[in-house]
Structures are given as structure tokens and as C-alpha cells.
């Protein structure tokens, strides 16, 4: 969401109109985030405060993608979780038992306060054979005071202690987009992905077989594009220009649209 639809908790010009157009025309779409802290209800409330009205059903998080992946891997499994409501709720809804007793998986996501006790428990469980899963690879996250360690940084600590590398579900793993496609019953050949980062959104969308659309209202700026060995299919200054083409009928035959971000 951040960098595509919102910036510093304010809606990017054109974002509200584009979301409204998709809703009014019955377009299947999801708004993606690698952030696993919040539930879709939480994120809907945060988006509303930014001026964007996105239904809960149109929000897909790395926590939800992780829960769906694990549900397919081991239905009714057991997991020790380091994370907040977005992750624990998604795993509970997927039928998982959350426990620190002989779990099948250790699942690591974001939390505002990483506990050394919980990290130590995770290290011991993984050393005893639990499979190691993380919601996303992001090493840091933002806060009003500055950068905070995030999932990727804590995962590196656990990997160093256990010699076990986690399976990462969120972007840039194309698994994130494939689970999103399944969520809205869309096909890669008729779905576009809108993102602001070449190194996560665009590469994952490309590897998932989607039409990739880069906007320059977030991380990757026009002068940065040449440093990457791959390209987005389309580039726009912002979603305002995408909305202008949509209302003129351009790209109206696509069956789904996915908007990606790393933050909330």
C-alpha cells in the first residue's frame, strides 16, 4: 500500500478514485502488504483514516498468504508464532493450533516488541526439528523514531544460531502473488500488478507471470530503473495516470488487479 496508494498516512492523489472505480465496476482486485502485524479489519480502518475506502475482502497480507501456504502444506498443523494479531488470527482461521509444545513450524512475522525469550524458544524448537517459516524478508521497518529491526533481521539471528534458513512466503516470493490470484479467482494472463519497488513488487509480479506496472510515488524512482537487469511492462508517475487511462477504457479487459507494497 505504502508508496502506491498512501504516503506517510495520506492517500496519494488519484488513489481513492482508482479504488472507487474498481469497486463501482466490479473489478476483482486485492491490495497487498508484506506487513504481517495487522488484520484486514485493522488495515481497512487505517486506510479509511488516510482517505481510502478499501473493503476488508480486498486486502491480502503476508500473514494471510503464510497461513494459506501452511494450510495447504499441513492441514490442522501446530505452530509456534512470533508475531501479532494479523499473523496469529490468520493461522487460527486456517485451522492451526498455536503452541510451543512440539510444533510442526516456527512462524516468524513482525511485532512491535520482539521478545528475547520468544526468540530463544524459537531457536530451540527449530534446533529440535520444527520447520522455519517467515512472513517476509524485510530487514527493517519504519517508526516515528526511526528504523526498527523487522522480520528479516530477526530471521538472520535465528539462522545464525540454528544454521536453518527459513522459507519466506512474502514478496519477492511470487508465492505471494499466486496466493492473491487464487483469492480472487484470477489468472496471471489477465491480471496486472501495480507496485513501487523493482526489487520486490516488480520482480515477484514478473516471476508470477503478471503484467507489471511500476509507479514512481514510492521507493524506485525513474533514475533507479536502469540499475536493474529487468523492466516493468509499464511505468507511470502515479496511480492518478493509471486511473485516467482506466476511465478511458484502456486495460479494461483485465480480470484482476493487484497493488503491492512492503509496508502498511
What number of other Cβ atoms are within 10 A of residue 33's Cβ?
A: 28
pLDDT on residue 145: 80
pTM confidence score? 0.90
For cell 497493488, the residue is 259
pLDDT digits (tens, 9 = 90+) for 86-96: 999 999 999 99
Q: Is the pLDDT of residue 263 over 90?
A: no
pLDDT on residue 146: 78
pLDDT on residue 250: 47
Nearest to 33 by CA among 71, 76, 72, 1: 1
pLDDT digits (tens, 9 = 90+) for 63-117: 999 999 999 999 999 999 999 999 999 999 999 999 999 999 999 999 988 999 9
Cα within 13 Å of Cα(221), Cβ side: 1
Q: Is residue 33 a contact partner of residue 67, using CB atoms and an 8 Å limit?
A: no
What are the angstrom distances between the C-alpha of 71 and each of 61, 166, 192, 204? Answer: 15, 17, 26, 22
Amino acid at each position: 500500500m505504502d508508496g502506491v496508494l498512501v504516503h506517510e498516512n495520506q492517500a496519494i492523489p488519484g488513489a481513492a478514485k482508482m479504488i472507487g472505480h474498481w469497486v463501482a465496476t466490479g473489478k476483482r482486485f486485492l491490495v497487498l502488504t508484506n506487513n504481517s502485524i495487522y488484520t484486514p479489519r485493522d488495515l481497512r480502518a487505517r486506510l479509511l483514516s488516510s482517505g481510502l475506502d478499501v473493503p476488508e475482502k480486498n486486502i491480502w497480507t503476508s500473514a494471510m498468504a503464510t497461513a494459506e501456504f501452511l494450510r495447504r502444506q499441513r492441514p490442522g498443523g501446530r505452530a509456534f508464532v512470533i508475531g501479532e494479531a494479523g499473523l496469529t488470527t490468520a493461522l487460527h482461521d486456517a485451522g492451526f493450533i498455536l503452541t510451543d509444545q512440539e510444533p510442526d513450524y516456527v512462524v516468524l512475522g513482525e511485532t512491535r516488541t520482539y521478545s528475547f525469550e520468544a526468540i530463544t524458544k524459537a531457536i530451540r524448537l527449530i534446533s529440535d526439528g520444527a520447520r522455519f517459516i517467515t512472513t517476509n524478508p524485510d530487514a527493517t521497518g519504519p517508526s516515528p523514531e526511526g528504523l526498527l529491526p523487522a522480520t528479516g533481521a530477526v530471521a538472520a539471528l535465528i539462522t545464525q544460531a540454528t544454521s536453518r534458513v527459513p522459507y519466506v512466503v512474502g514478496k519477492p516470493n511470487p508465492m505471494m502473488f499466486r496466493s492473491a490470484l487464487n483469492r480472487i479467482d484470477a489468472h496471471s494472463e489477465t491480471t496486472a500488478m501495480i507496485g513501487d519497488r523493482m526489487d520486490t513488487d516488480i520482480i515477484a509480479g514478473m516471476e508470477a507471470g503478471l503484467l507489471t506496472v511500476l509507479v514512481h510515488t514510492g521507493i524506485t524512482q525513474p533514475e533507479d530503473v536502469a540499475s536493474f537487469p529487468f523492466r516493468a511492462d509499464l511505468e507511470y508517475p502515479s496511480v492518478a495516470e493509471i486511473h485516467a487511462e482506466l476511465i478511458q477504457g484502456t486495460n479494461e479487459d483485465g480480470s484482476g488487479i493487484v497493488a503491492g507494497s512492503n509496508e502498511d
